[in-house]
Chains A and B, each alone.
Chain A
Amino acid sequence: MWDWDYALSILPRLLGALKVTLYATFWGFLLASVFGLLLAVLGRSRVKAIRMAVFGFVEFIRSTPLLVQLFFLFYSIPLLFGFSMTAFMTGVIGLGLHYSTYMSEVYRSGIDGVEKGQWEAARALNFSKARTWTSVVLPQALPPILPIMGNYLIVMFKETPLLAAITVVELLTTAKNINSMDWRPFEPYTIIGLLFLVISLLVSLLVGIMEKHLGKRHTR
């Protein structure tokens, strides 16, 4: 059933595909982090319409499957707007948008954790809004939530196989291709399963260490 020689022979191809998976994770995470922060800040806007729009967007995106969102982006955008993106770019945008809604909640919890006195102090010092955010609120809101963001990095990494549905040649697609050529599903699927498992466990170990480290520095 398990053939070591065969497993070793397909390993280089799978490791090559792992690069695509990691790139997609990285860019998706970056997008989710930036857009999620934007959503979190806009969610505190004084204008009710903006708050409502952000809330609706977050609720809708969070309640619907990433897979369907990817299909929507990949197949509808060319028809609706007349331009098309590469599958990889669509995948990164879909992944990033989907998890930005989760990330905005994480930011929100961090921002809510900043004491009210800090906002008042910034106002008393006559700081502008931008300055209040960048030099008072965010430096205090971000460190405690880094481990939670790390957990979402792992979640996103494990979701990248969904990009196979829109023809991105990442780990799962490569395993499928190998299987359709050699008709041996056991080795490729087991190897990629283990790759996902080992990498996510390693990263969660790192996140755990970070959490301990931060716990020491930020106990107030």
Chain B
Amino acid sequence: MGSIGEWIPLLWEGTVITAQVTLLSAIVTLLLAAVTGIMRLSKFKIIRGISYIYVLIFRGVSLLVLLFWVYYALPLMGVELSKMTSAVLAIGLNFGAFGAEIVRSSILAVPKGQWEAAQALNLTPTQRMFRVIFPQALVRMLPPFNNLMIELLKATSLIYFITLTDLTYQAMILRSLYLPQTAQIFGLLLLIYFIMASIISMIARMLERKLSAGRM
């Protein structure tokens, strides 16, 4: 019979990997989302087109299949990536496409008067975007990005399939060691994910308070 005390070390190792993958994928996601989201609003058709196709394809794929493809099929095209890189790349590409839509719609939701005011002040389009529009759009992006990050945390459990030793993977090992306590192990696992998701929400709410201070 095992007890929670004996499970902790393995679960902690898994938590660290899960947190690592979540953080790295989140960085890739946010960068891709910001870049492609702004590209969608470019005045050049080709730039809009590239970003449109990126969003269309990577929103349409199934993340798990994409992960398999990156990890198992891509090496045959001469691109061999580590498990960690494959995971971060697949998750980042997939969630970046969802994030791009959040960025785009939040920018478009900034009242028209702000665009006109920036123009009236003779700001260049770059100044207008980064000094006036984007900071205001950022406040609007936070709640949907909070949801997206929780989805991303949940999606990291898929890396279990390519045998990265994340939380889910470690729990499966524990299960094989303490078979009669399967329900307790998975119950605990669900609880850990729930706590991690709550931490993400807390951070998002904190940021929201900070960013919206003095605005609206």
Nearest CB of chain B from residue A61's CB, rounded to whole Å: 9
Nearest-neighbour CB distance to chain A for B167, whole angstroms, equals 8
Are B175 and A75 in contact (CB-based, < 8 A)? yes
A71 interface hit (Cβ, 8 Å)? yes
A93 interfacial by beta-carbon distance below 8 Å:
no
Encoded as 1 (CB less than 8 Å from any B CB) or 0, chain A from 140 to 184 comes to: 000000000000000001111110110000011001100100000
Q: Which of A78-125 contact B (CB under 8 A)?
A: 79-80
Complex interface residues of chain B between 68 and 92 (CB less than 8 A to chain A): 68-69, 72-73, 76-77
Q: Does B111 interact with chain A (Cβ within 8 Å)?
A: no
Interface size class of A (residues with CB under 8 A): 35 or more
Q: Are B64 and A186 in contact (CB under 8 A)?
A: no
Contact between chains at B62 and A158 (CB < 8 Å) = yes
Bound-state CA distance A176–B162 (Å) is 12
Instruction: Name A's interface SS.
Output: helix
A158 B63 Cβ-Cβ under 8 A: yes
Partner of B187, one of A72, A164, A171, A185: A72
Render B154-183 as a binary contact track against A, CB cut-off 8 A, 1 for contact: 111110110000001001100100001011
The CA of A165 and the CA of B161, in the complex, are separated in Å by 8
Contact with A along B134-159 (1 / 0, CB 8 A): 00000000000000001001111110
For residue B157, which residue of chain A has the nearest CB? A65
Q: For B183, list chain A residues within 8 Å (CB).
A: 72, 76, 79-80
Give CA–CA (A75, B168) in the complex, Å: 14
Residue B115 CB within 8 A of the other chain: no
By CB atoms of chain B within 10 A, which of A65, A175, A189 has the most?
Answer: A65
CB-CB under 8 A from A160, the residues of chain B are 62
Indicate whether A18 reaches chain B with its CB closer than 8 angstroms: no
A161 contacts B64, C-beta separation under 8 Å: yes
- B47 within 8 A of partner (CB): no
The answer to whether B56 and A201 touch across the interface, beta carbons within 8 angstroms, is: yes
- Identify the stretch in A43-51, A192-200, A208-216 within 8 Å (CB) of chain B at 4 or more residues: A192-200
- Contact flag A68-B190 (CB < 8 Å), given A75-B182, A162-B158, A197-B57: yes
Complex interface: chain A residues within 8 A of B175 (CB) = 75
> Does residue B189 face the partner (Cβ distance < 8 Å to A)?
yes
CB pair B157 A68 closer than 8 Å: yes
Q: Is the CB of A71 within 8 A of B186?
A: yes
**Which residues of the other chain, A, contact B61 by a CB distance below 8 angstroms?**
158, 193, 196-197, 200
Interface residue A190 (Cβ < 8 Å from any Cβ of B):
yes
Query: How close is A55's CB to chain B, nearest CB, in angstroms?
Result: 14
- Alpha-carbon gap, A79 to B149, bound state (A): 33
Q: In the assembled complex, which residues on chain B have CB atoms less than 8 Å from the CB atom of A161?
A: 62, 64-65
Partner of A76, one of B56, B182, B193: B182
In the complex, how many angstroms separate the beta carbon of A121 from the nearest chain B beta carbon?
Answer: 34
Contact, CB under 8 Å: B68 / A189:
yes
Closest A residue to B78 using CB positions: A1
Q: What's the least CB distance linking B202 to chain A, in Å?
A: 12
Contacting pair B190 A190 (CB below 8 A): no
Check A189–B65 contact: CB distance below 8 A: yes
CA gap between A204 and B161 in the complex, in Å:
28
Which A residues lie within 8 Å of B69 (CB)?
189-190, 193
CA distance A63 to B193 in the complex (A): 7
Cβ contact within 8 Å between B62 and A60: no
Q: Which of A75, A79, A185 contacts B72 (CB under 8 A)?
A: A185
Asked if residues A186 and B76 are in contact (CB atoms below 8 Å), the reply is: yes
- Quick one: CB contact mask for A1-24 with B, threshold 8 Å, 1 for yes? 100000000000000000000000
Name 12 extra pairs, CB < 8 A, besides A79-B183, A193-B66: A1-B76, A60-B190, A63-B198, A64-B193, A66-B154, A68-B157, A72-B186, A76-B182, A172-B65, A190-B73, A196-B62, A204-B60
Could you write out 21 A-B pairs with CB less than 8 Å apart? Answer: A1-B77, A63-B154, A63-B197, A64-B194, A65-B153, A65-B168, A67-B158, A68-B186, A68-B190, A71-B168, A75-B186, A79-B180, A158-B63, A161-B65, A162-B158, A164-B64, A165-B160, A171-B65, A193-B61, A193-B66, A201-B56
